[in-house]
Structure 1
Amino acid sequence: MDNVAAVLLSIVKWIFQLIPPTKGRIPEPGTLFQKLLSLRFGEDKLKKLEFLTEFYFHYGLFKFDSKIYIFNSKLAQQAIYKLEKGAEHYLENSPLKNTFLGSSQKSPETRRAIASLFRKTSIEERAVIMMGDIQEMCKKFRGEPNSIVNITEWTLRLALDIVGHVLLELDFHGLDKQQETMISSMTTILHRCYALNEVQPGSKEFSDASEQFDAITQRVLEEALSIDDVAFKGKRLVKSLHDACGFSEAKDNMKLFLMAGTETTASTIPVVMSLLVKYPEIQNELRQEAETLINALVADPTTRLPKTESVLSEVLRLYPIAPFISRQNYEPVTLGDVNLDQHADVIIFTWGIHRSSHFWDRAREFVPFRFLNSSKTSGNMYIPFGAGSRVCIGQHLAWLELRLAIAFLLYQFKFEHAQETPELNFVVDWAHAVVHPDKDMIFKISPTQNNPIKLP
């Protein structure tokens, strides 16, 4: 039946493209069209939206489920900068509701303190700490039984270690092994509830996980504030945040650091490794680059890794971890020729922008070294970390962490397909705007013959 629906959708698309677009109109699929979409894509909303992006390309936007999806670059840029953040109405039951992500009313002092936590220079100054955490993970890999590694689980632990050490100057392993409880509660909230829909937001299991996460976050903050600042060169990052907004608001934003600070790494590295296992020749090229540049990278963590960075950029193009940016308008507004009513629910559809055949050559293919040639990417809208006032505040942390982790891992290990390795499929956390692989990514690993990495 889905093959029949595919043919019918192709015919409808061909006919529709013969009709000139109506200026100022926001098109919307009708009942019959939506039935065809369901026959073709089932309940996969992301695939439906991707199809509609191509179908309505000449309009640059469309309406679906009462939301307006924008993918025209000029309209998207106007929406990003002219409209207000639109996250709070998605986060009603989320532990992140009272963070600066979920509220547009937080004080400028808080925003400045948070910005200082994630300033590029501040993150790079702590790169040695980050490398130490990555190397500890690599040491533990060697002790894995049967050389089978759950890279999703390990990268989540790595990301938490880095958030603790780099942002909070705190070792989560020292909190009476609270790291395990933290991981369990985060997994229940972010993955089992919002991504997989196995747990409902109003359920006891969700409430228990939220209360558990709140209690752990409070303890983490108390522990971090109890450390004497004399041991550090200046005022610590977490102390700056506390002084700016007080304990309660600092705790709320700590939840954001712990959750969002792990999301990019825990979602992206498993995808990268899945693709490198599928294309072993690309894995070998990146390994050779790491072998050539590892000493320079250890001496200066900002050292360019052109091929690795191109692969990471391509992964974030093809599978943007943040698939959309939400916006709201609190009074009527005009974007281009389109008039939006008050309180329109606007989505800048990053996933559609990044995967549109109208913007990118071989748009839905993995082209690992696409970003080595800037002439092939210039002019295209590329926003893997968002843009405007909702640009990912942790982008510098995430990018440095991804670069170092991939280089260190490939320098020391070869990754291969195992019987347990799942197909790469995705689920969407629509509340927090995050795409996850639907299953843990598990691979066979074997050590390389390279010399041990010596950290400063």
Structure 2
Amino acid sequence: MSILQSLNAARRNVLSIIPDIATKQPMVSGRTGKRWHMVMDPDAIRRVLLDRLDDYPKSLVTKNLLRPAIGESLFVAEGAHWRWQRRAAAPVFSHRNVTNLAPIMTAAAERACARVAQSGPRAVNMADEMVRATFDVIGDVTFSGSGGFDRDAVHRAIDSYIAAAGRVSLFDILGLPDWVPRPARLVSGRYLAEMKRFADASIEARRSEGHAGVPDLLDLLLQGEDPETKRRMSTGELRDNLLTFIVAGHETTALTLSWALYLAAFDQQAQDKARAEAQSVLGSRAANADDLAELYYTRMIVEEALRLYPPAGMVSRTALKPDTLGGREVRPGDTVILPIYALHRSHLHWDDPDAFHPDRFADRKAIRRYSYLPFGDGPRICIGASFALQEAVIILSTLLARFRFTPVPGRDPDPVMILTLRPEGGVWLQAEAV
């Protein structure tokens, strides 16, 4: 494709720039303004994400898309600035802290079930329901006790930013610096300013007034410090990381749940198996953290949904030094793309790759490392992975225990990726109480 063709394709759907051959080859290279390489070989991916991490920072396109919203937070920062933030934030997502937050997920699952039940026999857009459920969770675990937390306003700000600013600009493809204004991102500025003002005010209020009860994410981040330098985050750094967790922490899990329900609706045998498991473990109550070890098949459905429809369907890096990946020369300045969507559907790594088979995750050790990357890998693996999986299993098992989901004819969603891989058109399902 030419630069303009690539731009137009990427603005409509980033998945459209992944050639079909990427699911059958370990590496595909080309030039669109600058040299690029799509890498599907696990050994080469390990080199990018682990062995030579500092030589492959996030691409300028990625940083330009996200920096206006989340600054130099964990997701965007590089090198020493990233390392100290990661060390300070790591305890926030310890097993104990994530488990302590499970009751909030259980309550959100109950509310989601009540809304679905209230909808009656009509078709329900489960994508919208899952966004609402996961936003309930992230709001409560981030700003619990904040009476001034306007969920609708914050959610509107996030959605408006993604819609207006999340599309690749010609300036990004040409490599122009981020101080050159992108018109679409200027439109979203007022939403961002509103969101940041609320976050700053919440941080300062928590610092001065404190918070009783189970520590939430804001409490834990305020307490966090780099164990090596004892450095703590400033208000701006806290805000950027909070917004990272809010933006990334609700939509990605909502997407995972939406696709999982869509797939389960089309495979009634898999859905029946998950329902029997959930009803056996839960009875009439909602799931909690203590149930996770017994909800193994539900987790397999979540993992298979993450394989077929990974929320982060593509990530890109910029090579800083000469290297060789998969026997191919990589030059400084080349864009190295990890098309997770193609990797997860690769005929080289998966049997029947386009089919929905949750049982392929019955033995996780049989899955080759760096061939399955829903949360990335290496030192920059998603810090909230365990939080997201816990939330997804709690909500999905509670829903499947109480409802049978069936597809609505003619309402299949299209997988469209802008910043994340969304089901365009929604996930419309019939929900029948069981």
> Residues 145 and 211 of structure 2 are in contact (CA less than 8 Å); yes or no, is this contact kept in structure 1?
no
- Residues 138 and 246 in structure 2, CA contact (< 8 A), matched pair in contact too: yes
Tell me the C-alpha RMSD between the 2 structures. 3.4
The aligned counterpart of 1:282 is: 270
Identical-residue share of aligned pairs (%): 20
- For residue 101 of structure 1, what is the aligned residue in structure 2? 75
In structure 2, how many angstroms separate the alpha carbons of the residues matched to 1:293 and 1:238? 34
Say if 2:289 and 2:390, in contact at 8 Å, map to a contact too. Answer: no
Report which structure shows greater RCO (CA 8 Å, sep ≥6): 2
Q: How does 1:41-440 map to 2 (within 5 A)?
A: 45-54=14-23, 57=25, 60-65=27-32, 66=34, 67-81=36-50, 82=52, 83-94=55-66, 95-105=69-79, 106=81, 108-144=83-119, 147-166=122-141, 168=142, 170-171=144-145, 174-175=147-148, 178-191=150-163, 193-194=165-166, 202=184, 205-229=187-211, 231-232=213-214, 236-241=219-224, 244-294=232-282, 298=288, 300-335=290-325, 337-373=327-363, 377-378=367-368, 381-418=371-408, 422-429=411-418, 432=419, 434-440=420-426
Change (3 A) 1:391 1:332: same
1:179 deviates by 0.6
- 1:131 shift after superposition: 1.1
Cα separation, 1, equivalents of 2:369 and 2:235 = 45
1:220, distance to aligned residue in structure 2 (A):
3.6
- d(CA) in 2 for partners of 1:69 and 1:188? 30
Deviations along 1:199-255, whole A, 9 cap, x unmatched?
Answer: x85366422222222223323434444542564579931322597111011111111
Residues 320 and 350, structure 1, Cα contact 8 Å, conserved in 2: yes
Match of 1:306, as an amino acid? Answer: Y
Aligned equivalent of 1:16: none
The alpha-carbon deviation at position 396 of structure 1 amounts to 0.6
**Does the C-alpha gap of structure 1 residues 226 and 258 become closer, same or farther in structure 2, counting only changes over 3 Å?**
farther
Which 5+ residue runs of structure 2 have no aligned equivalent?
170-181, 226-230
Give, in whole Å, the separation in 2 of the partners of 1:264 and 1:42. Answer: 20
Q: Taking structure 1 as the reference length, what is the TM-score of the superposition?
A: 0.78
CA distance in 2, matches of 1:143, 1:225: 40
Does the 8 A contact of 1:151 with 1:440 survive in 2? yes
- Letter of the structure 2 residue corresponding to residue 214 of structure 1: K
Offset of 1:307 from its aligned partner? Answer: 1.7
Corresponding residue of 1:18:
none
Q: Deviations over 1:283-318 (max 9, x none)?
A: 222111101111695471432322212211111111
Mark the structure with the bigger radius of gyration: 1
Say how many residue pairs are matched. Answer: 404
Q: Which runs of 5+ in 1 are unaligned?
A: 1-29, 449-456
Give the Cα separation in 1 of the matches to 2:124 and 2:145: 24
Displacement of 1:256 in angstroms is 0.2
Q: CA deviation at 1:441?
A: 1.8
Distance 1:160 1:226, change over 3 A: farther
Q: Which moved more, 1:184-193 or 1:145-154?
A: 145-154
Indicate if the aligned counterparts of 1:195 and 1:427 stay in contact, CA closer than 8 A.
no
CA distance in 2: counterparts of 1:238 and 1:374, whole angstroms: 32
Distance 1:122 1:42 in 2: 39
Check conservation: 2:102, 2:288, Cα contact below 8 A: no
Kindly provide the amino acid, as one letter, of the partner of residue 266 in structure 1: A
Give deviations 1:47-66, integer Å, cap 9, x for gaps.
441413146x1x63423533
Alignment partners' CA distance in 2, 1:110 and 1:377 = 31
Letter of the 1:445 partner, please give it: A
Using the alignment, how far apart are the partners of 2:197 and 2:236 within structure 1? 12
User: What is the aligned partner in structure 1 of residue 178 from structure 2?
Assistant: none
Counterpart Cα distance in 2 of 1:237 and 1:42: 37
1:395 Cα offset (Å): 0.4
8 Å Cα contact 1:360-1:380 kept in structure 2: no
Which TM-score applies when normalising by structure 2? 0.82
